[in-house]
Chain A
C-alpha cells in the first residue's frame, strides 16, 4: 500500500513539473517576442531593453523558468502584461466566485446523481430508468452554453423570475449552478448506475441472498457500501468537468470568476495570467486524480492488490 501511494505521488509530481514547463513554454510558443506582448510597439530600443531586463526576459530560457517556478511557491505568478498588476491579485478577487459556483454544483450533482443512479440500477428497465437513460442521451447532446442560454430565455426573459447575469445576490447563482449540474448529471448517473450494476452481479451479493437476507439489507449493507467507492472516485473525477463547465458558464452568465479571467486573458494575449490559471487547473486536476486513486486504494483492497500486483 505504501509503495502504491509513493508511486502515485511521484508520478503526480512529475506530471505537475512537466505541465509547468510546458505552460512556461507557452510564452515562447506565441508568435513574436515575449517583450513585444508586454509593451507598446512604439517604445524605443533602449527602453525596450530596460523593460526586458526588468521582466527578466534577457536571461537564459532555463534561468527564466527557474525564477518563474520559484516565484510560484511565493504566490508570485508574475505581472499581467495587460493590466500591469500582479497576476495573483487578479486571481485572488476571482477565485471565490469560481469556488462558490463549482462547490454548489458539485454538491447538488452528488445529491442528485447517487440516489438516481442507485435507483436506476436496482430497477433497471422500468419506466423511470428508461426516462433517465433517454433524457441523459438528450442532455449529452446539449452543449452547456446553449443550455445556459435556454435557461436564460425561459426563466429570465419569459418568466422574469431570475436575473440574466451578474453576481450580487444568491439568485444570480441559481441558473449557472443548474446549467453546470444538468450538463454533467447525465454522465455521472450513467457511471454510478454502471458501477452499481457491476456490484449487483458480484458473487458476495448472491451469497448474501443465499444466506436468506432480506432484499433491503442486501441493498443497504452490501451493495450501497461497496458502491461508495464510486462516490469517492466520482467526487474527484467530476472536478475537471466542473472547471470546464465553469469556464463556459461564467462567460454565459457574466460571472467574474477564474474562467472569465482565463478567456479574457486568452483574447487579449495576457500570457502570464493564462500561464497561472492553466497551472492552477493542472495542479487541481492532478491532485484530484491522486486523491481519488489513493482513496479508492484504501477503500477497496481488491483494486490496491490488482494495481500493485499488475504494475510491479
Chain B
C-alpha cells in the first residue's frame, strides 16, 4: 500500500515537472492567472462602475482619464472590459462543468455497457452533427429563451458529445483489462467499476479535454451574445459590448476594439494552457 501511494505521487510530480518545462503551458498559465487576478480585483482596478452612466462625456476617444474611451451612455469602456473577465470566467466554468458531467457520465456508460445503449448514443451524436454547433445552439436558445445562462446551457447541450466520444473510446479499451475483471470478481457493481476503477485512469484525458472546452465555450457564448441572444444591458459581457460597438463603428471604433482584445487574450491563454497540458498528459491526442 505504501509503495503504491509513493509511486502515484512520483508520477504526479513528474507530470508537474514536465508542465513547468512546457513553454505553451507556462505562457498560458501566466495569461490565465492574470485574467483571474483582474476578475478578482476588478473593483480595485477599474475607476468607475461598469454600469455607471455619465462617468464621462459620451463617446470620448481613449485618453489618460478613460484609457479605452467611453461608450454611447458615457460609461467607461475600460471598466466594462475589466468586469467582463468575470462573465467570461463564469461562462467557462459553468459550460465546462455541464459538459464534463454529461460527457463523462454518458461516455462511461456507453463505453462500459456497449450494445444498444451505445447504438442509441452514436445515433444521437450523429444527430448533433447534422446541424453545425452554433446554429443548433441558436435553435435551443429559441426554445429556452434568451439570457446568458440559457445560452451557456444551450451550448453545453450541443457540445457534450465531443466530450463523450473520446471517453467512450477509452472506456472501451479499459473495460476488459485485468484490474476491471478483478473488481468484477470481487463483486463490484457497474457503477463502482465505472467510477472507481475506470474513471481514475482517464482523468488525464478529462483534464486535457476540459481545458480545451473552456476557450470554445467562451467563444461560442460571446458569439451568441453578439447576436443578441445572451446578456442584456448593462452587463459588461464582451459580446454584448462588441455588438453595441457595431452601431457606432464609424464614430467610435474603440468600442469595437478593446473588449475584443480582452476576449482574444483570454482565449489564447486557455488554448495555450490546453495545448501544453495535452502535450504533457495525453500526447496521443496530438494527432487528432
Contacts of A262 in B (CB 8 A): 135, 138
A291 within 8 Å of B (CB atoms): no
Report the minimum CB–CB distance from B192 to chain A (whole Å). Answer: 32
Contact call B268/A138, Cβ cutoff below 8 A: yes
Contacts of A31 in B (CB 8 A): 145
Roughly how many angstroms separate A212 CA and B228 CA in the complex, as a whole number?
62
Number of interface residues of B (CB under 8 A): 40
A175 within 8 Å of B (CB atoms): no
Contact call A11/B249, Cβ cutoff below 8 A: no
Roughly how many angstroms separate A140 CA and B268 CA in the complex, as a whole number?
8
Contact call B271/A149, Cβ cutoff below 8 A: no
A6 within 8 Å of B (CB atoms): no
Looking at A220-228, A244-252, A297-305, the stretch in contact with chain B turns out to be: A244-252
Roughly how many angstroms separate A271 CA and B242 CA in the complex, as a whole number?
28
Contact call B223/A145, Cβ cutoff below 8 A: yes
A274 within 8 Å of B (CB atoms): yes
Contact call B131/A274, Cβ cutoff below 8 A: no
**Binding site secondary structure of chain A:** helix
Contact call A240/B132, Cβ cutoff below 8 A: yes
Contact call B132/A285, Cβ cutoff below 8 A: yes
Contact for B130 among A15, A138, A149, A274, CB less than 8 A: A15
B57 within 8 Å of A (CB atoms): no
Q: Residue on A with the closest CB to B124? A: A18
Contacts of B260 in A (CB 8 A): 142, 146, 149-150
B230 within 8 Å of A (CB atoms): no
A142-B264, A248-B223, A286-B130 known; A281-B135 Cβ under 8 A:
yes
B246 within 8 Å of A (CB atoms): yes
* CB neighbors of A among B253-276 (8 A): 253, 256-257, 260, 263-264, 267-268, 271-272
Contacts of A240 in B (CB 8 A): 132
Contacts of B219 in A (CB 8 A): 141, 143
Report the minimum CB–CB distance from A248 to chain B (whole Å). Answer: 6
Contact for A140 among B135, B142, B271, CB less than 8 A: B271
* CB neighbors of B among A155-194 (8 A): 157-158, 164, 194
Contact call A244/B132, Cβ cutoff below 8 A: yes
B11 within 8 Å of A (CB atoms): no
* CB neighbors of B among A10-25 (8 A): 11, 15-16, 18-19, 22
Contact for B132 among A15, A26, A30, A243, CB less than 8 A: A243
Report the minimum CB–CB distance from A110 to chain B (whole Å). Answer: 19
A241 within 8 Å of B (CB atoms): yes
Report the minimum CB–CB distance from B286 to chain A (whole Å). Answer: 10
Contact call B249/A157, Cβ cutoff below 8 A: yes
Contacts of A199 in B (CB 8 A): none
A278 within 8 Å of B (CB atoms): yes
Contacts of B227 in A (CB 8 A): 145, 248, 251, 263
Contact for A153 among B229, B257, B268, B287, CB less than 8 A: B257
B215 within 8 Å of A (CB atoms): yes
Contact call B129/A285, Cβ cutoff below 8 A: yes
A47 within 8 Å of B (CB atoms): no
| Listed A/B pairs (18) with beta-carbon separation below 8 Å | A15-B127, A15-B130, A26-B142, A140-B271, A141-B215, A145-B223, A149-B242, A149-B249, A149-B256, A157-B250, A158-B253, A241-B132, A248-B223, A266-B142, A271-B142, A274-B139, A282-B131, A286-B130
* A-to-B contact residues, CB < 8 Å: 11, 15-16, 18-19, 22, 26, 29-31, 137-138, 140-146, 149-150, 152-153, 157-158, 164, 194, 240-241, 243-244, 247-248, 251-252, 262-263, 266-267, 269, 271, 274, 278, 281-282, 285-286, 289
